Structures are given as structure tokens and as C-alpha cells.
């Protein structure tokens, strides 16, 4: 099949590469010329485990192409995926200017039947808007399909190649057949392609992300309660996670969710709800809890240093919003950096992949370390904001000898409290009694 993917970011590049991997001819279109140049020259633009290898293979096999020219990119394609940004507008609703802008352009370009697929996360009713935007200038046949993406950064290739399910919203029988054929190689082990109407597909994506955000914020509130009541959130997590109805995943407390999806999608669903006079009370609470949670460690840090962080130096391990990605959008670490520097402290940060992206945002506000241990030099304490696996079993002796004080504030509960006690650390985490 011939496929075009418009937007070559985290979703578009993975989508394009994975479709090429199953033998399709894929052209990825992006307005960012430097990105297109790099990708055309075999230079990957995001860090995503396993992606580079298949990207290079498909580039070499001539199944994957990149262009800035939309007309050229979609000319021969049967299916055109829109993997464009849908950032929050000023009022919190998803900004559709990228999607509708490209839909408008497509109307001027189309000459034959194509399936236009919304892969971006878009509010209910967007498929109709895309349909109308194209139909303004193109009077021929075409279909607009909602096919939300559920991949997770960090395991995006696996998620795309072996999805739990594929959701396809369409009322067009021809499009249904095309989408069935396209996804057949990805659902060979019986994972379902679930067909539904466009609106239900659009809402499914928001419902999924919002539900997961509820789970995270719920556990963060349980963690707060654990600290007040003297319970251990790790035990409570294990206790409830063994219940099949609850499940083990997404029960880890921490310093809040970030990333390009949960914060904006929860906000957008609240906004969509208010537009139809519905006050989504649970999600309002989720947003509030998460805002507070990003700075959960600050009172603990302030208490340890007697509310005087001026001149203190902090080693900060982890900047990405989660491990195995270089994505820093809405990363809790950025909020920590602001809070610490505003209080007069300095920050020496290390992240295996995200430092170049953070440098672009914060400039010289903080120092960047060459390696995880370099960050510790002359630091008054170590803060952990992202649970990269290399932080899980570090050389504690080295940490002890390099830090000025044996003090760790762990926003992701990566260490065992008993071990911390044995090693003589002052250790604060989330929802567990401090080790003093």
C-alpha cells in the first residue's frame, strides 16, 4: 500500500517507519525542513528505543521517504495519516489549527479517492470538521477516519507493532476494508481492530488517557495519605494491584505525570465537557492533584535545609518526563528546576537522553553533567526526578563519597528504604516514611 504520514514527530515517525516495516511504501511529510533533511540523510530526530534500526533498514530498502512538499507526499498515497500537533489552546481546548490547516490544503490537492486518517488526539467532532474543510475545495470521493494512537513513548515501536487494540472510527465501508488490510500484520495474534463511529473513536482516546491520569493521581493521593497515617504506599500498591479488577500497572506514585499527552488531553476533555455543559468533576480534581504533585518534594527539601536553599547545590538525576525518552514536555523535573533556582539554589543535572532538549528550554539556568556521578560533585543532596534504569542500582559508595551530605530526595521511589537506612542515607521518597 502507498501511505503518506503528515507530521513526522514522535507519533508520525514511528507510524511511518512501522508501516514501512510491514512492506508499505511510506512518504512522511513535515514542514520542518531541517527535520526532513536529517531524516532523508539517515539521521534520526528523536530518541526512541528500537526505532533507529528499523528506520535505517526501511530507508535503505527505499520504502521510507521524507519531503516538505504535501502535494508530492500524498500524490500516490491511498491513505494519508495526520500525525500533527494538537497542543492546548489558551482556554485548554485542543488547538486544531494544524489539523484543519492541512485538511484545507488537502482539499486543494486531492484528485482521487483517499482515506484521510486522524491519528492525532482530537476532540469529538473533529472528523466532521476535517471532512468539511476538505470538501470545501474537493468535490470528489474521500473518507475521513478516526484512528487514535495509543503508543507510549519509550516503548513506541513495540506498542505500534503489537498494539493491545486498534481503534478505527469510520462509517465508510471502503475505508473500513482498507484499514483492515493495513492493520492485518499488526493484529495477527488476535488483538482486536475495534470498528466504531468516528465520535466514539475520538472520545476513546481521551477516555483512555484520562482514566490513566485518574489512576496516577489517585495513587498520589493515597501516597499523601500513607505519609500522614504511617502506612507504606509500596505495600498498599502491591495489595491493591493483585486485584485483577484494579491491575498492577499505573499504580506507582511519584512526582506527577507529565509528557505531551496526559496533561493536555485531560485538560482538553474537561474543556470539551464544559462545552456541552458538563462539569467533569473527577478530572478537575486530577488536574489539581497533579499540579501540586510536581512539587511534592519541595516541602521535604525545604524542611531538611531549614527553608534556606540559597547557595545550596542539588544534583538532579532525570529530566525527561519518563525513562527511555528524550521528551521533556511538561516534565516534572522542569518544575523542580524552577522551584529550586527561584529559591536561590543551583542545579547540576544529568539525563541520559534529554539534556539537549532541556538546554534549549532553560539555557544556562542550570549546569549539565557529563555523567550521573559528575552531577554529584559538591552537591548538598541528590534529587531523582525520572526513574531511568541506570539510576536504580548505582554505586552508593560513590554517591556517599561525592555528595556533601548523604541526602537523597527520591521522586520515583527507586530505592529500598531498608538499604538506605543500612547505608546511612537521609532518604525521602513518596508515600513512605522518611529514613533519617
Binding site for ligand NAD (CB under 6 A): 6-12, 29-32, 35, 83-86, 98, 101-102, 120-121, 149, 151, 153, 260-261
Distance CA 352, CA 362 (A): 17
The reply, when asked if residue 121 is annotated as ligand binding, is: yes
Q: How far is the CB of 46 from ligand NAD (least distance, A)?
A: 7
33 is in an annotated binding site: no
Q: Which of 258/431 has CB closer to ligand NAD?
A: 258
The answer to whether the annotation marks 250 as part of a ligand binding site is yes
Cα 402 from Cα 408, distance rounded (Å): 13
8-state DSSP, 195: E
Nearest residue to ligand NAD, using CB? 9
Largest Cα–Cα distance in the chain? 74
Annotated binding residue 61: no
Burial track 312-322 (b if 16+ CB lie within 10 A, e otherwise): bbbbbbbbbbb
Q: Residue 205 annotated as binding? A: yes
What are 314's three cell numbers?
542539588
Q: For residue 216, is it left (φ>0), alpha (ψ between -120 and 50) or beta? A: alpha
Return the number of the residue (18 or 407) whose C-beta is nearest ligand NAD. Answer: 18
**Sequence-distant (≥ 6) Cβ neighbours of residue 419 within 8 angstroms:** 396
C-alpha cell at 9: 514527530
Choice between 206 and 335, CB closer to ligand NAD: 206
- Answer for the pair 357, 349: CB distance below 8 angstroms, yes or no: no
- Least distance from C-beta 143 to ligand NAD, angstroms? 20
Least distance in Å: CB of 295 to ligand NAD? 24
| Pairing relationship of beta strands 193-196 and 313-317 according to DSSP bridges | unpaired
Q: Which residues, in sequence order, are CB contacts of 150 under 8 Å at separation 6+?
A: 159, 163, 164, 165, 167, 205, 208
Residue number with CB closer to ligand NAD (121 or 210): 121
Task: State the minimum distance, in angstroms, from the CB of residue 151 to ligand NAD.
Answer: 5
Residue with Cβ nearer ligand NAD (102 or 134): 102
Q: Is 153 annotated as a binding residue?
A: yes
- Could you tell me the CA-to-CA distances from 305 to 191, 252, 309, 347 in Å, in that order? 52, 27, 6, 15
State the nearest-atom distance from the C-beta of 99 to ligand NAD, in Å.
Answer: 8
Task: Assess whether 18 carries a catalytic annotation.
Answer: no
258 is in an annotated binding site: yes
Q: How many CB atoms lie within 10 A of CB 43?
A: 12
- Per-residue cell: 74: 500524498
Question: Is 186 marked as binding a ligand?
Answer: no
Cα separation, 246 vs 185, in Å, equals: 31
Q: Which of 18, 28, 226, 261 is catalytic?
A: 261
Identify whether the C-beta of residue 409 lies closer than 8 Å to the C-beta of residue 382: yes
Nearer residue to ligand NAD within complex by CB, 47 or 296: 47
| C-beta of 122 vs 376, nearer to ligand NAD | 122
Torsion, Cα 107 111 115 120, to 10 degrees, reads: -30
- Write down the least CB distance from residue 9 to ligand NAD, Å: 2
Feature table: binding site for substrate:
150-153, 205, 250-254, 258, 322
Feature table: binding site for NAD(+):
30, 35, 86, 121, 153, 264, 329
Feature table: binding site:
30, 35, 86, 121, 150-153, 205, 250-254, 258, 264, 322, 329
Residues tagged active-site: 261
Amino acid at each position: 500500500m502507498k501511505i503518506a504520514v503528515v507530521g513526522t514527530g514522535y507519533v508520525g515517525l514511528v507510524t511511518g517507519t512501522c508501516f514501512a516495516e510491514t512492506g508499505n511504501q511510506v512518504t512522511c511529510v513535515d514542514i520542518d525542513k531541517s527535520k526532513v533533511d536529517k531524516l532523508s540523510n539517515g539521521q534520526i530526530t528523536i530518541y526512541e528505543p528500537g526505532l533507529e534500526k528499523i528506520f535505517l533498514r526501511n530507508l535503505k530498502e527505499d520504502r521510507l521517504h521524507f519531503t516538505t512538499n504535501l502535494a508530492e507526499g500524498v500524490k500516490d498515497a491511498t491513505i494519508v495519516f495526520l500525525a500533527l500537533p494538537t497542543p492546548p489552546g489558551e482556554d485548554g481546548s485542543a488547538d486544531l489549527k494544524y489539523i484543519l490547516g492541512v485538511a484545507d490544503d488537502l482539499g486543494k490537492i486531492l484528485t482521487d479517492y483517499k482515506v484521510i486518517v486522524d491519528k492525532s488526539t482530537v476532540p469529538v467532532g473533529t472528523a466532521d470538521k476535517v471532512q468539511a474543510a476538505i470538501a470545501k475545495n474537493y468535490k470528489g470521493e474521500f473518507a475521513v477516519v478516526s484512528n487514535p494512537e495509543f503508543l507510549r513513548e519509550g516503548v513506541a515501536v513495540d506498542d505500534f507493532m503489537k498494539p493491545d487494540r486498534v481503534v478505527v472510527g469510520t462509517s465508510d465501508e471502503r475505508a473500513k476494508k482498507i484499514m483492515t488490510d493495513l492493520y492485518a500484520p499488526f493484529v495477527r495474534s488476535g488483538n482486536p481492530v475495534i470498528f466504531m463511529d468516528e465520535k466514539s473513536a475520538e472520545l476513546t482516546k481521551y477516555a483512555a488517557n484520562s482514566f490513566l491520569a485518574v489512576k496516577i493521581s489517585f495513587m498520589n493521593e493515597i501516597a499523601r495519605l500513607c505519609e500522614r497515617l504511617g502506612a507504606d504506599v509500596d505495600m498498599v500498591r502491591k495489595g491493591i494491584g493483585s486485584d485483577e479488577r484494579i491491575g498492577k500497572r499505573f499504580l506507582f506514585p511519584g512526582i506527577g505525570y507529565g509528557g505531551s499527552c496526559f496533561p493536555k488531553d485531560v485538560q482538553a476533555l474537561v474543556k470539551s465537557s464544559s462545552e456541552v455543559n458538563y462539569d467533569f468533576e473527577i478530572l478537575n480534581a486530577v488536574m489539581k492533584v497533579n499540579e501540586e504533585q510536581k512539587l511534592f518534594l519541595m516541602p521535604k527539601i525545604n524542611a531538611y535545609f531549614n527553608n534556606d536553599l540559597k547557595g545550596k547545590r542539588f544534583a538532579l538525576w532525570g529530566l525527561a518526563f519518563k525513562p527511555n525518552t528524550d521528551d521533556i514536555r511538561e516534565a516534572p523535573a522542569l518544575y523542580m528546576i524552577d522551584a529550586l533556582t527561584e529559591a536561590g539554589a543551583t542545579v547540576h543535572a544529568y539525563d541520559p537522553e534529554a539534556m539537549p532538549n532541556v538546554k534549549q528550554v532553560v539555557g544556562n539556568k542550570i549546569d549539565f553533567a557529563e555523567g550521573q556521578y559528575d552531577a554529584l560533585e559538591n552537591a548538598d543532596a541528590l534529587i531523582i526526578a525520572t526513574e531511568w534504569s541506570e539510576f536504580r542500582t548505582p554505586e552508593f559508595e560513590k554517591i556517599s563519597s561525592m555528595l556533601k551530605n548523604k541526602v537523597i530526595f527520591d521522586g520515583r521511589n527507586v530505592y529500598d528504604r531498608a538499604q538506605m537506612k543500612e547505608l546511612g542515607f537521609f532518604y525521602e521518597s513518596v508515600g513512605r516514611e522518611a529514613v533519617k
